[in-house]
Amino acid sequence: MSTGFYGTILPAQITPNDVDIYYNYVSERNSDNVNESVFTKLDSNILSNVFYENQEDANDNLVEGLYNLKLPLEYFGQKGFYTVYIKPKEVKMVISDVGNLSGYENVRGIIIDSNMVTDEAMRSKLLSNGGAVGYRIVYYDDNGERLGYYRVITSNNRCEPIISTNATSNSKAYSYRYNDSASFVFLTVTPSLAPSFKSSATPFIGKPAQKIAMVNTMFEPVMLDIEMVDHDADTISNMLEGSQVRDLENGLITTFNENNQIYHQAEVFTLKENGRPIYEVSNKRTDNIDLTQTITDKI
C-alpha cells in the first residue's frame, strides 16, 4: 500500500517570459555585508524547462513545475554566498482610461493602449482575448510608491472607444465596445462592483494616467541560497582517501584522484634550530608540479 498527497493546485507551466530573476553576492556572512544587499537583475533565459523521455508521445514530455537553473560563471564565478530571487514577472504600464462597456453601463473596466506596452510577451497576452485572465494589477500612487492592494483580471478583450457629446456642456464622454481589430484592450477586474448592502461604495479600479504593473499569478516567489566553494565532497574525499606517493628523495607528497591523476602536490621539509628539528613544513606546490610523479608505475 502507498500513500500520496492529493489537491487541486496544478504545477505551473511557465517560460522564461513569465519570471524575473535577481541575484546578490557577498564574499562572507557578517553584519558588514548588510549594506551590500543590492540585487542585480539577470536574463530570465537562465531558467529552462525540464523534459523526460516519453516514447509514446514525444510532444507531451514536459515535467510540469520543474525547471533547470543555469549559473553563468560571469555572475557566479567567485567564491562566496549568492542569493537568487525568482518571482513572477512584472510589466509596468499606464492606464489609458477607466470606462464602461457600451450597452452595459454597469460593466466597468480598465483600458490599456497596447501600443504603449513595451514588453512584447505581455502585449501579445493582452491582444489575445482572455490571455491575461488571472493576472494581478498592482497600483502606484502619484509619487510612484506602490500601493498596498491589487485587483485580479477577470477578462481582457480588444476594444475601441465610442465618443458621445453632451449637448448642454459640449463635453465628450467615452464608452467602449469590443473590436477584435482594435489596439485598445478592455480589462474587467475583481472586485469592481459595489456591495449589495452599500451601492455607493464602488471599488477603486484605477484612474487615467495612473501607473500600474501587471503580474502573473502562476507561482509564488522563490529564494535560493547558493554557496560557491573551492572544494566539494569529491575533492575533499581525494585528500582524505586518495592514493599518495611520498618521494623520500626530493621530499614530495603527491595525491591522486580516482583516475590516478595528480590532484595535489606538496613539498615536505624540516626546519631545524641548532641542529634540532623544530617544525615539519608541508608547502603546497601550485606552479612547479613534478609531473613525473605517478602511482601506476609504483603499484
Residues 76 and 104 in one domain: no
Where does the pLDDT of residue 181 fall: very low under 50, low under 70, confident under 90, or very high at 90 and above?
very high
In 9-119, which ranges are continuous DSSP H helix? 73-76
pLDDT in tens, 9-29: 667 788 899 999 999 998 887
Q: Is residue 117 part of a domain?
A: yes
Residues 133 and 201 in one domain: yes
At 31 the three-state DSSP class reads: helix
**Whether residue 158 has pLDDT greater than 80:** yes
Residues 29 and 102 in one domain: no
* Residue matched to cell numbers 463635453: 171
Residues 194 and 267 in one domain: no
Residues 120 and 137 in one domain: yes
Pairing of strands 146-165, 222-228: unpaired
Residues 150 and 36 in one domain: no
Pairing of strands 184-190, 146-165: antiparallel
- The better pLDDT of the pair 110, 270 is held by 110
Q: Is residue 8 part of a domain?
A: no
Dist CA 190 CA 196 (whole Å): 15
Dist CA 199 CA 288 (whole Å): 85
Residues 181 and 112 in one domain: yes
Average pLDDT of the chain is 87
CA-nearest of 11, 10, 9, 16 to 68 is 16
Dist CA 242 CA 261 (whole Å): 10
Which pLDDT value is given to residue 3?
Answer: 45
Residues 198 and 170 in one domain: yes
* Residue matched to cell numbers 602536490: 265
The answer to whether residues 269 and 277 touch, using CB atoms and an 8 Å cutoff, is no
Looking at 228, 251, 283, which one is the last position of a domain?
228
Q: Is residue 102 part of a domain?
A: yes
Residues 80 and 99 in one domain: no
pTM, entire model = 0.76
Looking at 174, 195, 228, which one is the last position of a domain?
228
Q: Is residue 150 part of a domain?
A: yes
Residues 168 and 148 in one domain: yes
Residues 264 and 283 in one domain: yes
Q: Is residue 55 part of a domain?
A: yes
Structural domain that includes position 262 = 233-298
pLDDT in tens, 211-250: 999 999 988 999 999 999 888 888 888 888 888 998 888 8
Dist CA 31 CA 134 (whole Å): 41
Burial of 291 (0-12, 13-18, 19+ CB in 10 A): exposed
Looking at 176, 200, 228, which one is the last position of a domain?
228
How many domains does the structure of the chain reveal? Answer: 3
Residues 71 and 138 in one domain: no
Q: Is residue 256 part of a domain?
A: yes
Q: Is residue 276 part of a domain?
A: yes
Q: Is residue 1 part of a domain?
A: no
The answer to whether residues 195 and 125 touch, using CB atoms and an 8 Å cutoff, is no
